[in-house]
Amino acid sequence: MTGWGSGESIVSDGLGSRTGVADAVVVGGGTVGAWCAWFLKQAGLSRVVLLEQGALGQGASSRAAGIVRSQGGTPTAVRLAEWTRAFYRSQSERLAIDSGFVRQGYYLPCFSEADEDAARERLAMQQAEGMDVAWMDAADAEALNPNMAPGLARGGTFHAEDGWIHPPRNVLAYTAAMLAAGVEVHERTAFLGLEERHGHLVAVETSRGRLPTGRLVLTGGPELAEVGRRAGTTIPSGGARHQVAVTATHPDLQAGDWPMVFDLQAGLYWRPEEGGLLFGMSNPAEEPGEAREIDGAYLALMQERLATLVPVTKNLPLRRIWVGTIDYTPDHLPILGPVLRHGEPVEGTTVASAGGHGMMWGPGVSRVAADLALEGTSALVDASILGLDRFDGQGRSRLATDPIALPFPEVTGQVATGLG
């Protein structure tokens, strides 16, 4: 260990002389951790330290499709997404840089009576939360999106304000924001554990030594379960392969003024991308774990489904394909609450997971995590129901699962043990 008197940092403010107590330490340099560190600094904390085991944004934050959808299936999801969308829209004014938000509109089609009944029930909840979301009948939906095959959908819900961001630009935005605010960012610095006394946090252990602090926020995306193990707790969060592809250009796709679409039945979404179509998917039947390569068979299956719904894509070549690891929780909801050891909270700690919705909820989850670290509560959502205490020993949640999410793996017991 080199200690906190030396080592690598992307901050050049005389770190070698800074060895005192940190007002807050944030673990993880992805969307949730980085924006949380910025929020903590904006709240007036003097020394906020961010630890990143690798490099900023090298994980899921730079490999996402960037979808920003407010049409969640629970009030918590709606509130986080609406707050996040508003944050993206306000960035240019606040930061002189932004995450590249594009207002596109989002359509969730229904293909059966059961789909429609569930969608109309969600619609009532979303409108009660103040969303300007509406039911769109089949004829209007087909007129809005002429690329979709007619006669298949019964209609669906539509929100004109949904859109997408550019993930690499988001990494640039939060990096610039943190450095401008004075957050100490330490790449290639691993979190190794925490030190507590009588149930209160007093320090964190890192690959560069011990750092005293009374506030700790643990993030980590797909690696959050391992971060939890190092902290002496079990976090039921896992990782799974997520594939994204972009088609070649086509004259019918050039305008790009058609809405994004999420086919809930297949777990397939798409949006415009540079004169073509970007689409993404996850396979619920495969073993969870780190993504290493493209699953050609499942990609071909999703291309078939896409060609059925968007006929112009049939036999259209793919110009880009990539794969990343996306995080998820058993109920598809965020985790926000203290570290638990032997069932008891460690005061001064906060666990923050966006549950596979890093672009969609990330800044909102970050805002709540910062609120919890500072005040123990948040006005944005009721975080008291989102902590680790909602899960049993097998990782099962007492909360209803958010139904509007990608179909993540459902292998029994894997999430509860951190996919280990």
Q: Checking DSSP bridges between strand 191-197 and strand 184-187, what pairing results, if any?
A: unpaired
What's the rounded Cα separation, in Å, for the pair 348 and 365? 17
Note the pLDDT of residue 176: 97
Note the pLDDT of residue 411: 45
- Cβ–Cβ < 8 Å for 146, 183: no
Tell me the β-bridge partners of 273. 276
Domain boundaries, the chain: 105-163+239-327
- Rounded to two decimals, what is the model's pTM? 0.93
What's the rounded Cα separation, in Å, for the pair 348 and 275? 49
What is the chain's alpha carbon radius of gyration, rounded to the nearest angstrom?
21
What's the rounded Cα separation, in Å, for the pair 348 and 37? 15
- Regions of the chain where pLDDT drops below 50: 1-2, 5-18, 411-420
What's the rounded Cα separation, in Å, for the pair 139 and 156? 11
In tens, the pLDDT along 382-411 reads 999 999 999 999 999 999 999 999 887 764
What's the Cα-to-Cα distance from 56 to each of 62, 238, 267, rounded to whole Å? 9, 20, 29
- Let me know if 120 is exposed, middle or buried by CB neighbors in 10 A (0-12, 13-18, 19+): middle
Helix axes 75-95, 358-375, angle to 10 degrees: 90
Query: So what's the architecture of 105-163+239-327 in CATH?
Result: 2-Layer Sandwich (3.30)
Give the 3-state secondary structure of the chain: CCCCCCCCCCCCCCHHHCCCCECEEEECCCHHHHHHHHHHHHCCCCCEEEEECCCCCCCHHHCCCCEECCCCCCHHHHHHHHHHHHHHHHHHHHHCCCCCCEECCEEEECCCHHHHHHHHHHHHHHHHCCCCCEEEEHHHHHHHCCCCCCCCCCEEEEECCCEECCHHHHHHHHHHHHHHHCCEEEECCCEEEEEEECCEEEEEEECCEEEEECCEEECCHHHHHHHHHHHCCCCCCEEEEEEEEEECCCHHHCCCCCCEEEECCCCEEEEEECCEEEEEECCCCCCCCCCCCCCHHHHHHHHHHHHHHCHHHCCCCEEEEEEEEEEECCCCCCEEECCEECCEECECEEEEECCCCHHHHHHHHHHHHHHHHHHCCCCCCCHHHCCHHHECCCCCECCCCCCCCCCCCCCCCCCCCCCC
CB contact set of 167 (below 8 Å; sequence gap of 6+):
61, 62, 63, 64, 65, 66, 359
- Cβ–Cβ < 8 Å for 196, 3: no
Q: Checking DSSP bridges between strand 24-27 and strand 216-218, what pairing results, if any?
A: parallel
Note the pLDDT of residue 53: 96
Q: What angle do CA 63, 40, 353 make, to 5 degrees?
A: 40
Percent of the chain with pLDDT over 70: 93
CB contact set of 121 (below 8 Å; sequence gap of 6+):
none
Note the pLDDT of residue 420: 30
Q: Checking DSSP bridges between strand 335-337 and strand 349-353, what pairing results, if any?
A: antiparallel
What's the rounded Cα separation, in Å, for the pair 212 and 351? 18
What's the rounded Cα separation, in Å, for the pair 170 and 180? 15
